[in-house]
Amino acid sequence: MNDYIIRATAANETVRAFAIRSTQLTAEAREIHHTLPVVTAALGRLLSAGAMMGSMMKGEKDKLTLMMKGDGPIGQMTVTVDSHGNVKGFPANPAVDIPRKYAGKLDVGSAVGRGLLTVSMDLGLKEPYNGSVEIQTGEIGDDLAYYFTVSEQTPSAVGLGVMVDTDSSVKHAGGFIIQLMPDADEETISSIEKAVSQSQPVTAMMDKGMTPEDILEHLLGTLDLKITEKLPVRYYCGCSKEKVASALATISTQDLRDIINDGEEIEVKCYFCNSAYKYSIEELEAIMAERE
Ligand SMILES: [Zn+2]
Q: Which of 32, 164, 154 is nearest to 89 (CA)?
A: 32
User: Strands 86-91 and 76-82, how do they pair?
Assistant: antiparallel
Please give the pLDDT value at position 127.
85
Backbone φ/ψ region at 21: left (φ over 0), alpha (ψ -120 to 50), beta? beta
State the distance from the centre of ligand 1 to the C-alpha of 253, rounded, in angstroms: 24
- Greatest mean pLDDT among 71-75, 239-243, 248-252 lies in 71-75
Please give the pLDDT value at position 124.
83
Between residues 264 and 215, the one the model is more confident about: 215
State the distance from the centre of ligand 1 to the C-alpha of 81, rounded, in angstroms: 13
Instruction: Give the DSSP letter string of 160-195.
Output: EEEEE-TTS-EEEEEEEEEEE-TT--HHHHHHHHHH
State yes or no: pLDDT of 250 exceeds 90: no
State the distance from the centre of ligand 1 to the C-alpha of 50, rounded, in angstroms: 17
State the distance from the centre of ligand 1 to the C-alpha of 245, rounded, in angstroms: 11
CA of residue 233 relative to chain centroid, distance: 12
Local confidence band at 208 (pLDDT 50, 70, 90 cut-offs): very high
Local confidence band at 290 (pLDDT 50, 70, 90 cut-offs): confident
Q: Write out pLDDT tens, residues 69-86.
A: 999 999 999 999 999 999
Q: What is the mean pLDDT of residues 169-181?
A: 97
At the top level of CATH, the class of 241-291 is alpha beta
State the distance from the centre of ligand 1 to the C-alpha of 143, rounded, in angstroms: 27
Q: Write out pLDDT tens, residues 1-36.
A: 799 999 999 999 999 999 999 999 999 999 999 999
Torsion from C-alpha of 44, 45, 47, 50, nearest 10 degrees? 170
Same-fold call for 4-235 versus 241-291: no
State yes or no: pLDDT of 277 exceeds 90: yes
State the distance from the centre of ligand 1 to the C-alpha of 240, rounded, in angstroms: 7
State the distance from the centre of ligand 1 to the C-alpha of 246, rounded, in angstroms: 12
Q: Write out pLDDT tens, residues 95-150.
A: 999 888 777 789 999 999 999 999 999 988 888 899 999 999 999 999 999 999 99
State the distance from the centre of ligand 1 to the C-alpha of 270, rounded, in angstroms: 5
State the distance from the centre of ligand 1 to the C-alpha of 161, rounded, in angstroms: 25
Local confidence band at 155 (pLDDT 50, 70, 90 cut-offs): very high
At the top level of CATH, the class of 4-235 is alpha beta
State the distance from the centre of ligand 1 to the C-alpha of 221, rounded, in angstroms: 40
State the distance from the centre of ligand 1 to the C-alpha of 11, rounded, in angstroms: 41
User: Strands 86-91 and 234-235, how do they pair?
Assistant: parallel
State the distance from the centre of ligand 1 to the C-alpha of 54, rounded, in angstroms: 18
Q: What are the residue ranges spanned by the domains of the chain?
A: 4-235, 241-291
Contact criterion met (CB below 8 Å) for 213 and 3: no
State the distance from the centre of ligand 1 to the C-alpha of 96, rounded, in angstroms: 23
State the distance from the centre of ligand 1 to the C-alpha of 292, rounded, in angstroms: 28
Query: What is the average pLDDT value for the chain, to the nearest integer?
Result: 94
State yes or no: pLDDT of 247 exceeds 80: no
State the distance from the centre of ligand 1 to the C-alpha of 232, rounded, in angstroms: 20
Q: Write out pLDDT tens, residues 157-173.
A: 999 999 999 999 999 99
CA distance 165 to 155: 33
State the distance from the centre of ligand 1 to the C-alpha of 243, rounded, in angstroms: 9
